[in-house]
Structure 1
Amino acid sequence: MAIILFDDNAHHTLLPLTYTRPVADLRIGILTIAEKWAKYLNSDFSFYTRDYLQAKFPLTIQDDNIFINGSVCPDEAVVEVIKNLGSGQALRYKDILIAVKLKDIYADNFDPYGKYTDELIYNDELVVLTHPEDIFRKNDTELRKDFKLLTAGRKSAKLSSTNTIIGDDFFAEEGVRSECCSFSTLNGPIYLSSNTEVWEGTHIRGPFALCHHSQIKMGTKIYGATTIGPYCRIGGEVNNSVVWGYSSKGHEGYLGNAVIGEWCNLGADTNNSNLKNNYSEVKLWDYPTRSMRKTGLQFCGLIMADHAKCGINTMFNTGTVVGVSANVFGGGYPPNYVPDFGWGGADGFEEYGFDKMMETTARVIGRRPHRNFDDAEKAILTEVYKLTKPYRK
Structure 2
Amino acid sequence: MNYILFDGPVRDSLLPFTYTRPVAEIRIGILTIREKWEMFLGSTTTTITEDYLSEKFPLVEMEENVLINSSFLPNAQLVALVQGLGPQEAIFYGEEVLAFHTFKSREKVDFSSYKAIAYSGEVLRIEHTWDIFSKNGEALQADFDMVTQGRKSAPISKTNTLINPENIFLEEGASVECSILNAATGPIYIGKDAQVLEGNMIRGAFALCEKGYVKMGAKIYGATTVGPYGKVCGEISNSVIFGNTSKGHDGYLGNSVLGEWCNLGADSSNSNLKNNYSLVKIWDYKTENFVPTQLQFCGIMMGDHSMCGINTMFNTGTVIGVNANIFGTGFPPKFIPSNSWGGSEGFTTYRLEKAFETFKTMMARRNAEFDDKEARIMTKVFELTKKWRKDYPSSSAIPKAPDTYRDGTSSNPTTIPIWTSAS
TM-score class, shorter? over 0.9
2:142 corresponds to 1:132: no
Three-state SS of the structure 2 residue aligned to 1:77 is: helix
In the alignment, which of 348, 361, 364 is matched to residue 362 of structure 2?
A: 364
The residue type equivalent to 1:297 in the other structure is L
> Alignment length, in residue pairs?
389
2:27 corresponds to 1:27: yes
Q: CA deviation at 1:177?
A: 1.2
Q: CA deviation at 1:149?
A: 0.4
- Give the distance between the partners of 2:212 and 2:114, measured in 1 at CA: 48
The equivalences for 1:342-357 within 5 A come to 342-357=340-355
- Give the distance between the partners of 2:105 and 2:388, measured in 1 at CA: 35
The superposition leaves residues 347-392 of structure 1 with CA deviations (integer Å, 9 ceiling, x where unpaired) of 12111112111111121112221x2212211110010000000011
Q: CA deviation at 1:127?
A: 0.9
Change (3 A) 1:114 1:311: farther
Q: CA deviation at 1:63?
A: 2.0
Match of 1:392 in 2: 389
The equivalences for 1:17-166 within 5 A come to 17-103=17-103, 106-111=104-109, 116-166=113-163
Match of 1:8 in 2: 8
Match of 1:324 in 2: 322
Q: CA deviation at 1:108?
A: 3.3
8 Å CA contact 1:6, 1:67 repeated in 2: yes
- Give the distance between the partners of 1:255 and 1:84, measured in 2 at CA: 43
Q: Which runs of 5+ in 2 are unaligned?
A: 391-423
- Give the distance between the partners of 1:141 and 1:356, measured in 2 at CA: 40
- Give the distance between the partners of 1:184 and 1:276, measured in 2 at CA: 29
8 Å CA contact 1:90, 1:116 repeated in 2: no
- Give the distance between the partners of 2:237 and 2:328, measured in 1 at CA: 25
Identity level (%): 50
After TM superposition, which residue ranges in structure 1, 4 or more long, deviate above 4 angstroms? 113-116
- Give the distance between the partners of 1:346 and 1:109, measured in 2 at CA: 47
Q: Which runs of 5+ in 1 are unaligned?
A: none
Three-state SS of the structure 2 residue aligned to 1:107 is: coil
Three-state SS of the structure 2 residue aligned to 1:292 is: strand
Match of 1:218 in 2: 216
The superposition leaves residues 266-321 of structure 1 with CA deviations (integer Å, 9 ceiling, x where unpaired) of 00000000000110110101111211111100000010000001000000000000
The residue type equivalent to 1:119 in the other structure is A
The residue type equivalent to 2:251 in the other structure is G
The superposition leaves residues 186-206 of structure 1 with CA deviations (integer Å, 9 ceiling, x where unpaired) of 000111001000010001010
The superposition leaves residues 254-274 of structure 1 with CA deviations (integer Å, 9 ceiling, x where unpaired) of 000000000000000000000
The residue type equivalent to 2:266 in the other structure is A
In the alignment, which of 303, 306, 318 is matched to residue 305 of structure 1?
A: 303
- Give the distance between the partners of 2:131 and 2:117, measured in 1 at CA: 26
Match of 1:246 in 2: 244
Three-state SS of the structure 2 residue aligned to 1:35 is: helix
The superposition leaves residues 103-162 of structure 1 with CA deviations (integer Å, 9 ceiling, x where unpaired) of 2xx223155x96552111111231111110000010000000000000011000002110
- Give the distance between the partners of 2:7 and 2:250, measured in 1 at CA: 37
Change (3 A) 1:116 1:230: farther
Change (3 A) 1:278 1:203: same
The residue type equivalent to 1:388 in the other structure is T
> How well do the aligned residues superpose, as a CA RMSD in angstroms?
1.1
Q: CA deviation at 1:8?
A: 1.5
- Give the distance between the partners of 2:68 and 2:329, measured in 1 at CA: 46
- Give the distance between the partners of 2:226 and 2:54, measured in 1 at CA: 26
Change (3 A) 1:161 1:141: same
Match of 1:334 in 2: 332
8 Å CA contact 1:235, 1:249 repeated in 2: yes
Which structure shows the bigger proportion of residues in strand conformation?
1
Match of 1:197 in 2: 195
